[in-house]
Every structure is written in C-alpha cells, then in structure tokens.
Amino acid sequence: MELMDLKVVLAIMEEGSVSSAARRLDYVQSNVTARVRKLEMELGVQLFNRNPKGVTPTEKGLALCKYASDILRMADEALMAVKEPDYPCGPLTIGIVETIASSGPFIQALSEFQRRYPEVSLSLITGTSPQNYEKVLNRQLDGAFFTGDFNMSALEVEAEIRDEVVLLTTSEVHQSSEAPNIANAVWVVFPKGCPFRVASEEWLRNEGTPITNMIEISTLETMLNCVRAGLGFALLPKSVITLADERLRAYPVPEQYRYTTTRLVRRNEPFCSKAFAAFSECVRASGF
C-alpha cells in the first residue's frame, strides 16, 4: 500500500464517484479504477459499492478512509517538520474576531511580530467565534482567536485574554452614573454566534424584556459609531473603547455577563510551525 493509494481512496469517498476523483487528482479514470481494484485484492476486502449514480464506501472502506486521512495528515506534517527552515518564515493564516483586531495590545503584538519576522507572510481572516473555531478544526486556519466556550479537546490554547464586558451607550443622551433602562432599547449586535450577542439576548430574557429591535452590524467600528450616534446600546469588552472617546459611556453589567475570555488556539498536533510559535510569543508578550 502506497500513500497515493490512500489519496485515491479518500478522493473517491469525498467525491462520491471515480470519475470526479480522477479529475480532482488529474488522473486517467481507468488508472484510478485499476489502483482501487489492486488495493482491494491486496487487502482482501471490498472498499466501495458500485451503483449507477457513483460509489459509496463499504464499512471496511469507511474504516480505511478514517486511517487514510490521519496517515496523510501525519505524512504532510512530517514533510513540513523536516523541510521547515530554522527561522520563522512562509505563510501564516490566523482567524481573528473584531473585538481583538482593533485592540491596542493586539496592534502592538502585530507590529512587533512584523518587525521581528519580516519573512512570514501573515494573513488575518476576520470571522465570528464559531466560524474561527470550525475553520481551525477543518485546517482552513493555522490558528485563531475566538471568544466563548467551545469543546477544546482537539485544540491547544496558546494565549488567554480576559476582559471586562460593559454596556455601552452614547454619552450625549445618557449622562447619569446609573445604568440606563434596557427595556424597549434598540441593541446594536454582531451576527449570530457572537458571544456578546448571546449575552445580550440572555440578559434581556432574564429581565423579562422582549427582544424586539436589533441592528446587526459586521464591523466593530460601525457598531461603535451606531452607539455614538445614539442608535442603540451594545454589550462589548471594555478594551475596545478608549478614555479619550467622550461620545461613549460604559456601565457595569450583571456579574454573570461581566467577564469574557478570548483564546488564541491551534490544533493539538505534534507539529507547530515556527511562524505560529513566534506569533503566539508576540501575543503573550504584548500585555494581553
């Protein structure tokens, strides 16, 4: 059995047909068919059920595909570990959430990283916490920041950032030190899946206040501008506002919503690129 045999089997399972797998692998279809039949003879089991609409893996085929995926991943990691230079370089793709992207400590970490490691080609991909979590697991990102509680069994935490959550309003309307009445307020929120939106909705439900009016915003700066203009309230980390911003006023929130943790994670695997290790070090050293 060769690694290419495993790639062929995996491609057939994922594509659902031999012809599609052949196109994906840039192989002649007859060669793919011959390779599978030879492998089935070698193993003494049938790997796929053939039907007019394509192929489906047998129970033995599914078992082999599971191992094939792990074996191919480890083979790729082995090559990267052997071929990687002794210094941080090459591409690095990090998922980031809006509330971290604009924070002072992160900008400081990013500046230091770019200064020290100019040979790393860094890409920052903005997404929601659930999106970043899934993309790390699916190998679409080398690592990611996300906020909230997730199953961490397959992940390694490189840094944790604890922040206070506050209720933000415009200072032009709300001058009192007492928190404004949240009943019937308009709320400015991130898309579904954002932990701050979840906290806002839960807070309102616990207060017996119906969630009737929300303005959904994709970027932090637009959200803050909406609050500054008096269009609504927002629940956000205290770190996203500056003392010099006189147009915003922050109020404490109930204890169960008052603190949040954002993590920088990678997959829990033996290989960790020098570029990612250097990036993590800069994040930890930035004072988060």
Convert 109-171 into a string of H (helix), E (strand) and C (coil): HHHHHHHHCCCEEEEEEECCHHHHHHHHHCCCCCEEEEECCCCCCCEEEEEEEEEEEEEEEEC
pLDDT for 175 equals 61
Provide φ and ψ at 219, rounded to 5°: -120, 150
pLDDT for 223 equals 93
- Type of residue found at 225: N
Helix (H, G, I), strand (E, B) or coil at 215: strand
pLDDT, mean over the chain? 88
- Type of residue found at 175: Q
- Residue that has been written with the tokens 């806002």 in this structure: 200
Residue 73 clears pLDDT 70, i.e. is over it: yes
Which residues of the chain form CATH 1.10.10.10?
Answer: 3-83
Q: Answer left, alpha or beta for residue 230, where phi above 0 means left and psi between -120 and 50 means alpha.
A: left
**Largest distance between two CA atoms of the chain:** 80
User: What is the CATH T-level fold of the domain 90-162+261-285, as seen in this structure?
Assistant: D-Maltodextrin-Binding Protein; domain 2 (3.40.190)
Residue 211 clears pLDDT 90, i.e. is over it: no
DSSP tag of 233: B
Higher model confidence: residue 115 or residue 180?
Answer: 115
User: What is the CATH T-level fold of the domain 3-83, as seen in this structure?
Assistant: Arc Repressor Mutant, subunit A (1.10.10)
Range of 12-16, 21-25, 54-58, 90-94 with top mean pLDDT: 90-94
Which residues of the chain form CATH 3.40.190.10?
Answer: 90-162+261-285, 163-258
Residue 162 to residue 148: CA distance in whole angstroms: 11
Q: Are 247 and 170 in contact (CB under 8 A)?
A: yes
CATH 3.40.190.10 fits 163-258, yes or no: yes
**pLDDT band at residue 266 under the 50/70/90 scheme:** very high
Residue 243 clears pLDDT 70, i.e. is over it: no
The upper half-sphere exposure of residue 245, i.e. CA atoms within 13 Å in the direction of its Cβ, equals 18
